[in-house]
Structure formats: C-alpha cells, structure tokens
Amino acid sequence: MGGPLGDVLEDSLIAEFNATHPGIEVVPVAMGNYRALSQKIMASVMAGDTPSIAQAYETWTAQLVRGDAIVPMDSLMALDPGFTDEIWPDVYEVFREDNTFDGRIYSLPFNKSVPLVYYNADLFESLGLSPAQTLDGHRALLRALTLDGNSDGDLLDDCDRWGTAFTGSVWTFECLLSQFGGSLIDSSSGSVAFDSPEGEQALGFLQALLHEDRTAYLATGFDHQRQFSAGRVALIEASVTSLAFLKKDMQSRAASGLSTFRIGVAPLPSGVRRSVFIAGTNVVIFRSDDPREIAASWEFAKWFLEPRQQARWFAGSGYLPAVRGALSEPEAIARIEANPGLDGVIGQLDYALFEPQTSAWYEGREFLSEAIEIALYGRMSAGEALSRAARLTDAEIAAGR
C-alpha cells in the first residue's frame, strides 16, 4: 500500500483511527510489492517476531493457519456480538466464504477488487455501440471497433485502432474459464480442473482475438492501459482500481493539450454463465503473548469494516466496499454517481468467485500463468499448455497434502 493508495490508508483512515482510539497506535509499514510482503511475513513467523496485523492472500493464510501463527477471527467475533450480529452479515457472501478456512474464519476482507470493461464512451456513442452483454457479442463488438485507417493490413499507424489489448493474465483466463462453465479445481477430488474443454475454450477465445480476428494485441505491463488512454485501443479489461489511474492519464493529456474522452465502465460479458473472480488481499491478526496487542488489532480490523470507513476506502482508493451498507454512505453514492455503470460493476459481487485457498495454488498460479503466455505466443496449443500446468500443479497439491 504505497503511493496514492497508501496515502488514503495512512493519512485518512489510520490517522483518524489513531486520533479516535486513545491507547492504540496503528503504525503502517509499506512493502515494495506482494512478493516482498510474503517473504517478510514468513520470515517474521520463523523468527518469532511477527507484526500485529498484515495483508495476506488466501494461499499465505492457509500456510499461516497450518503453522498456528494467526488468531482465528471467529474467536474474536464470539466476544463481540455487535460485530457478529451487524457487520459480518452485511459483508458480501463471496468475501465471507473467501475468509473461511475449513469452517473457521481466519481473516477479514481488505483491498478487494473485480475486473471490468473500460471503454471509450465518446467513440462508442459516435458509432452507436454499447458494451456487449455476452462473449459472442463482445467478439463481434471488437470487430466493429477495430480500424485499419490506411488499409495497409497492419494496425501500427496513428490512424489505426485496436479493438482491445490484454496481457497473459491468469485473472482474465480464470474469468473466461468460469464463464464457459469450467473450474480451476475439482471440488470433489481437489485436483486441477482447468485442463478441460472449457479451459481450452477460454484460452482459445483469447487466441482467436489475437490471431484469427486480429482485433487485439498482446500487451506487456500497463501498455494496454496507456494505449487505451491515447485512443489507440477502444476498450480494455482491468481492475476496478485502475479507474483512478486512467482518469489521471486523461487529466495529464488534457493539461498537455492532447485529445481526451469520457471513460465508460461496464461489467464483464457473460458466457454460459455470469462469472468473475475477486482479487486482492485480506487481513490476518498474528498470535502474541500480549493480549492487548491482539485486542487492539481486532479493534482496528473491525472498525475498518464499518460502512462509513468502507465507503471512504472505496471512494478514495477504488477498492470495493466489503459491506453492502457502505453503498448507502454519501462518499460511495457520490463516486457511483460520478461514474455511471459502476453500480453494475459492483453488482458482479453477487456472482463472484474466489481462487483456491490451498497453499499449493501459490505455485500453481505461476504454472498457469506460464501456460497462458506459452499458448498466447503460439509456442504450444491451448490443450498442451494447460495439461503441462495441470501436471505441475497437481504435484504441488499432492505434496501439500
């Protein structure tokens, strides 16, 4: 949580908590990235010198549970009926399930997000187009948006426009996988399920946009977002938190006298079912010999989930509110009114899924990421790449058992 997001967290929310809770001081410590955070957490557990509270992905939490390093949140909730009766039931169901491990609640939602479609609203209006509701419609829409301005067969010139651009993202693939009816893990056997006909359909859909329709190009880093802001790409899929950065790009372009446009937002199109995966971390509280430290950590964690704080977090950072009540707060209402379509994006939480909680998925996700890139660059077929990733991930799962 560095940069602007860290400013919202530290200068607004943590500062207020510290000012209104005498005897407790939350001292924020920013890490360079999630990998560095993971390494720091695991090293602190081994050294017996953990922080009070930290962000953690589900795979990390599974490891911490196995090592008995964190306090079960439900044990603290049992002593706090106000939270249990009022706040926890208001948390979106997908977040409640995401923080439950083998029937026990070990973490609370923190910086959660969903993917969405960002589109050039001025361009869409001029062409009489709207965001697609289905994957078939989305593919047709991209054909209509792609423009070879000088008819030279290549979309490399300033007069050309791509329909979309994307990276070899696990997030993009897993949403498509579910939309086509597939799953990451078989719920009955616990083994990998993404090497399936639905998995090949999902990866094949991206391959078709790149190589058959030629309405998309494979980007690296944040190039697709930069090209979207420049008007060279008509729409992109990105995190809900990308909105602030895209709007900042628009402001910079306007200040430099460059062309700008209105940014539209819409939910992802659906396949045989509507589906998205949530992303982002949760918070865990570490065991301590000092019960006051655990009590103080709990006080901050539950305060952060109250509707007013969640509304301010959403309005300031772009991360989703974890509780439905936040949407009735003035800050949340103002943000939604300023960004038409954002209510539909948030509505995706009603059918959202979360990634496997097993610690083996930490490596499995990397194997899947490699498979997606290999297939999109044409070095293997979709089936071959997914089968390779599945074998490696199943080995990790078996070792984890």
Section 83-90 average pLDDT: 96
Instruction: Examine the domain organization and report whether 109 and 222 are in the same domain.
Output: no
pTM: 0.94
Based on the fold, state whether residues 109 and 119 are members of the same structural domain.
Answer: no
What string of DSSP letters covers 209-249? Answer: IIIIS--EEE--TTHHHHHHHTTSBSEEEEETTHHHHHHHH
Short-list 222, 225, 206, 203, CA closest to 214: 206
Q: Which of 310, 326, 351 is the last residue of a domain?
A: 351
DSSP H/E element including 125: helix 121-127
Question: How is residue 304 written in tokens?
Answer: 């952060």
Mean pLDDT of 115-143: 98
Q: What is the CATH number of the domain that holds 187?
A: 3.40.190.10
Q: What is the pLDDT of residues 354-367, one digit of tens each?
A: 999 988 898 999 99
Same domain, 162 and 266: yes
Classify residue 269 by its DSSP letter.
P
Residues 183 and 95 in one domain: no
pLDDT digits (tens, 9 = 90+) for 170-187: 999 999 999 999 999 998
263 plus 383 within the same structural domain: yes
Domain finish residue from 328, 351, 374: 351
Q: Are 58 and 355 within 8 A, CB to CB? A: yes
In this structure, are strands 352-353 and 53-56 parallel, antiparallel, or unpaired?
A: unpaired
Do both 157 and 196 map to the same domain?
A: yes
Q: Is there a single domain that holds both residue 55 and residue 141?
A: no
Q: Is residue 284 domain-shared with residue 262, that is, in the same domain?
A: no
Domain limit, last residue, from 333, 351, 369: 351
Is residue 304's pLDDT more than 60?
Answer: yes
Q: Are residues 121 and 208 in the same domain?
A: yes
pLDDT per residue as tens digits for the range 214-248? 999 999 999 999 999 999 999 999 999 999 889 99
Number of domains in the chain: 2
The DSSP code for 288 is: -
Q: Note whether 328 and 264 are same-domain residues.
A: no
**Domain extent at residue 132:** 115-276+358-400
Phi then psi for residue 41, to 5 deg, are -65, -50
**Residue appearing with tokens 């006909």:** 197
Task: Let me know whether 254 and 142 are in one domain.
Answer: yes
Beta bridge partners of 164: 216
Place 158 in a pLDDT band, splitting at 50, 70 and 90: confident
Give me the percent of the chain exceeding a pLDDT of 90: 89
pLDDT band at 142 (very low <50, low <70, confident <90, very high): very high
Of 303, 310, 349, nearest to 327 (Cα)? Answer: 310
Instruction: Quickly tell me which residue has 């200040």 as its tokens.
Output: 255
* pLDDT tens-digit series, residues 311-341: 999 999 999 999 999 999 999 999 999 999 9
Q: Residue 401 above 70 pLDDT?
A: no
Q: In a 3-state reduction of DSSP, which class is residue 100? A: strand
Considering the domain architecture, whether residues 52 and 13 belong to the same structural domain is answered as yes
155 pLDDT band (50/70/90 cuts)? confident
What is the average pLDDT score of the chain? 95
Average pLDDT over every residue of 142-163: 85
